[in-house]
Amino acid sequence: MNILLLGNGGRENALAWKMIQSNKLKNLYIAPGNAGTGLVGKNINLSTTDFPAIKEFVLANDIHMVVVGPEEPLVKGIYDYFNNDGQIRHTPVVGPSAKGAQLEGSKDFAKQFMKRHNIPTARYQSFTLSELDKAYHFMEQLEAPYVLKADGLAAGKGVLIIHDINEAKRELKSMLSGMFGDASRIVVIEEFLSGIECSVFVMTDGNSYKILPVAKDYKRIGEGDTGLNTGGMGAVSPVSFANDAFMKKVEERIVIPTINGLKKDEIDYKGFIFIGLINVKGEPMVIEYNVRMGDPETEVVMPRIKSDLIDLLEGIATQTLATRNLEIDNRYAVTVMLVSGGYPGDYEKNKKITGIESVTGSIIFHAGTKQTENEILTDGGRVMAISSFGNTKNEALALSYKNAEKIKFDKKYYRKDIGFDLD
Ligand code: AMP
Ligand code: GLY
């Protein structure tokens, strides 16, 4: 099978790494990819949202399946673009329709979906600028802190959590007045939930589903979960508190109602669902949906899947997922992200990366890297994820940290406390 994988992060390198282990794969193309995906497949210089160019590539290269890494092409309707075009209709796109992608593209849509299908989540209401007084009134009924969410995609920056009600009211007004452009013309105000978070990944073909290994990511730049939010500084899987009893609740109260809800609402959804959960005193509540795999969670989830990923993806595309095998490795997997100094603020690119060849016992997934003629250079804030297995979390972490030392680039930074809050 020839596969086109869209994206250029650590997530895509981990997906590509897993795909090439399948004997069902003939050619793997990654658009646009990074230096790491270039080692396992062929990078293609195409934008993930240039649908006509993607179509042309698919036709010219006999592509049998398109797998979408990031949310943007999904929210922009790549699934529907293929479905509505006679020449490429028969090439499956792994990922939801634009309507399904609204679960991530619109927080208001996601909250309405959860409410309609009785999926546990924080109490909320949505408002526009013309409803400011009503919004203030709703806020006054909640307890601090106040959670304000821009409805649309805001590059991970659209959620504010504010303790002081007057400050929260001021921020609400600026959000509604366009602080995040059109993304915050509608703002979801919701009750604050206190607990520890984890990420649950589900594959679905629209009828059946499979739950992938659960993971926890570490979003803050600083140790002890302090400082600014990043794309993710590391991840671990499994997650100690997500035990069988907890996961049974997740499946019964959240996963099954989500799959059934998509069906009832006639939403075409063949792809990954990422459920951001919070454990509130043993009860799982949904914080958010994403319509793709997580990054850096994929860098621990893929290594723990023993089965053939392409076989599973084929199951999604042909609606035969129930007949496919999903076997999980019981060991711990962790990943530690090496980032450019200054990230998530300003940082420099084009730093030479050395020491990659001296890494032993870990898997390196490239995130922001690029290959020049004879060097690998940094090309983003998150540069490389170092994933390792272990019989315990600490054993796996020790391996990743040992190898993190060996890779060198100017102003390298990483968190040394990944997994600190878990048993
Ligand atoms: P989101 O973009 O929806 O994932 O929100 C970003 C982060 O804000 C989440 O990962 C949570 O840590 C936090 N958050 C969002 N909603 C809530 C809530 N209702 N209660 C507590 N924390 C929240
Ligand atoms: N790790 C969180 C995300 O991918 O959005």
pLDDT tens digit sequence for 7-58? 999 999 999 999 999 999 999 999 999 999 999 999 999 999 999 999 999 9
| d(C-alpha 415, C-alpha 234), whole Å | 8
Of 287, 289, 290, 292, which is best to mutate to test ligand 1, by the most ligand atoms within 8 angstroms of its C-beta? 287
Rg value, the chain, Cα: 21
- The answer to whether 235 and 296 are in contact (CB under 8 A) is yes
- What does the pLDDT look like over 354-389, one tens digit per residue? 999 999 999 999 999 999 999 999 999 999 999 999
* CB-based contacts of 365, cutoff 8 Å, min separation 6: 10, 13, 14, 17, 36, 299, 335, 384, 385, 386, 387
Residue 82 is part of a domain; what is its CATH number? Answer: 3.40.50.20
**Would you say residue 158 lies in a domain?**
yes
**Would you say residue 376 lies in a domain?**
no
Query: Would you put residue 60 in left (φ > 0), alpha (ψ -120 to 50) or beta?
Result: alpha
* Average pLDDT rounded to a whole number, residues 114-131: 97
For ligand 1, whether the C-beta of 147 sits within 6 Å is yes
How big is the CA angle at 308 (ends 212 and 329), to the nearest 5 degrees? 50
- What does the pLDDT look like over 220-237, one tens digit per residue? 999 999 999 999 999 999
Helix (H, G, I), strand (E, B), or coil: what is residue 141? helix
pLDDT at 154 over 90: no
Q: Are residues 92 and 29 in the same domain?
A: yes
Going from the Cα of 374 to the center of ligand 2, the distance in angstroms, rounded, reads: 32
Amino acid at 397: L
Tokens representing 230 are: 């990043």
pLDDT at 156 over 80: no
| d(C-alpha 143, C-alpha 401), whole Å | 41
Going from the Cα of 58 to the center of ligand 1, the distance in angstroms, rounded, reads: 38
* Average pLDDT rounded to a whole number, residues 236-241: 98
How big is the CA angle at 365 (ends 359 and 366), to the nearest 5 degrees? 105
| 216-221 contacts, C-beta under 8 A, 24 or more apart | 216/419, 216/422, 217/294, 217/296, 217/297, 218/415, 218/418, 218/419, 221/339, 221/343, 221/344, 221/415
Residue 92: its pLDDT value, please?
Answer: 98
Distances (CA, A) of 198 to 41, 236, 239, 284: 31, 10, 7, 10
Residue 155: its pLDDT value, please?
Answer: 80
**Domain limits at 48?**
2-97
Residue 378 backbone dihedrals phi, psi, to 5 degrees: -70, 145
Place of tokens 């914080």: 287
Half-sphere exposure of 218 (CA within 13 A, CB side): 29
Residue 95: its pLDDT value, please?
Answer: 98
Q: Are residues 76 and 137 in the same domain?
A: no
**Would you say residue 295 lies in a domain?**
no
Mean per-residue pLDDT of the chain? 97
DSSP letter string, 208-246: -EEEPPPBEE--EEETTTEEEE-S-SEEEES-TTS-HHH
- What does the pLDDT look like over 400-423, one tens digit per residue? 999 999 999 999 999 999 999 999
Going from the Cα of 133 to the center of ligand 2, the distance in angstroms, rounded, reads: 34
- Given 185, 209, 227, which residue is the final one in a domain? 185
Burial of 45 (0-12, 13-18, 19+ CB in 10 A): exposed
| d(C-alpha 75, C-alpha 196), whole Å | 28
DSSP code at position 214: P
Q: Which ligand is nearest to the CA of 290?
A: 2
**Would you say residue 310 lies in a domain?**
no
Residue 166 is part of a domain; what is its CATH number? Answer: 3.30.1490
Going from the Cα of 334 to the center of ligand 2, the distance in angstroms, rounded, reads: 15
Going from the Cα of 116 to the center of ligand 2, the distance in angstroms, rounded, reads: 25
Q: Are residues 139 and 81 in the same domain?
A: no
Helix (H, G, I), strand (E, B), or coil: what is residue 378? strand
Query: How far, rounded to the nearest angstrom, does the alpha carbon of residue 244 sit from its chain's CA centroid?
Result: 23
Residue 157: its pLDDT value, please?
Answer: 82
Going from the Cα of 268 to the center of ligand 1, the distance in angstroms, rounded, reads: 27
User: Residue with the nearest Cα to atom 4 of ligand 1?
Assistant: 288
Residue 336: its pLDDT value, please?
Answer: 98
Q: Are residues 6 and 59 in the same domain?
A: yes
- Given 97, 114, 140, which residue is the final one in a domain? 97
Confidence of residue 62 (pLDDT cuts 50, 70, 90): very high
User: Residue with the nearest Cα to atom 15 of ligand 1?
Assistant: 287
DSSP letter string, 282-344: TEEEEEEEESS--TTTHHHHHHHB-S-HHHHHHHHHTT-GGGS---B--SEEEEEEEEETTTT
- The answer to whether 238 and 96 are in contact (CB under 8 A) is no
**Would you say residue 416 lies in a domain?**
no
**Would you say residue 280 lies in a domain?**
no
Q: Are residues 134 and 91 in the same domain?
A: no
Prediction pTM value: 0.97
Q: Among the residues of 61-193, which ranges form H helices? A: 72-75, 78-83, 98-105, 107-116, 132-141, 165-174
Helix (H, G, I), strand (E, B), or coil: what is residue 150? strand
* Average pLDDT rounded to a whole number, residues 287-314: 98
Strands lying side by side in the sheet with 196-204: 209-211, 196-204, 271-280, 283-290
Tokens representing 57 are: 């590539």
DSSP code at position 216: E
Length reported for the chain: 423
Q: Is the dihedral of CA 179, 181, 182, 183 positive or negative?
A: negative
**Would you say residue 420 lies in a domain?**
no
Of 221, 288, 295, 415, which is best to mutate to test ligand 2, by the most ligand atoms within 8 angstroms of its C-beta? 295
Q: How many domains does one find in the chain? A: 2
Q: Are residues 153 and 72 in the same domain?
A: no
Max Cα-Cα span within the chain: 61
**Would you say residue 413 lies in a domain?**
no
DSSP code at position 193: -
pLDDT at 64 over 80: yes
| d(C-alpha 177, C-alpha 185), whole Å | 7
Tokens representing 91 are: 């090439």
